Amino acid sequence: MYQYSLYFFKSIYAVHFYYKVDILYRFLSQYHYGKLQDRSSLKQVGFVLEEINIEEITQHFLSHHLDYVIERSVNQECHELTIKGNGQEMKVVQNGYAIDVYADSLIDADQLFFRYIKEYHPYVFVVNFEAQECGWILPLAKKANYNL
């Protein structure tokens, strides 16, 4: 199974860092692996990222009236969802400022979850730390690619 970590950026920082994915990858990698220990670095995480509310995300997901089976497991340490549909299965786990998605492929993750999360928050950055791949789920709206 592949793990994809989703981060919800505040709009001002998403616009500023949209084309600087290498900087975002290094910053999120340090956060993911627990290398940001000092108080000021941890404050920066809170400044640039939105807090995750898995219950709101679940309600947004359920509002689409899908034929998927959703199993919820909530305890004090983590909130976890299992989503099953069309012969596919994936797990969604809240992990601090991240949502960790475990799926057999990127296509499964997109079909079962990513396409709905795009509507929930416009600035979602996805990272696969094992493969060292990352990127924004949606293109930056109302931003010209080239200035002539």
**Interval 34-44: pLDDT, tens:** 998 888 888 99
Query: Is there a contact between 62 and 120 (Cβ–Cβ < 8 Å)?
Result: no
Asked if residue 144 belongs to a domain, the reply is: no
What six digits make up the tokens of 138?
Answer: 């949606």
Taking the whole predicted model, whether its pTM rises above 0.85 is answered as yes
d(CA 144, CA 82): 38
d(CA 72, CA 145): 41
Asked if residue 148 belongs to a domain, the reply is: no
Segments forming the whole domain that contains residue 42:
2-136
User: Each residue of 78-134: pLDDT tens digit?
Assistant: 688 888 877 888 899 988 899 999 999 988 898 888 888 888 999 999 999 999 999
Asked if residue 101 belongs to a domain, the reply is: yes
Asked if residue 100 belongs to a domain, the reply is: yes
d(CA 146, CA 148): 6
pLDDT exceeds 60 at position 145? no
More confident residue, 108 or 140: 108
What six digits make up the tokens of 27?
Answer: 């910053």
Asked if residue 146 belongs to a domain, the reply is: no
CATH code, domain carrying 77: 3.30.310.250
Asked if residue 22 belongs to a domain, the reply is: yes
Asked if residue 37 belongs to a domain, the reply is: yes
Structural domain count, the chain: 1
Asked if residue 28 belongs to a domain, the reply is: yes
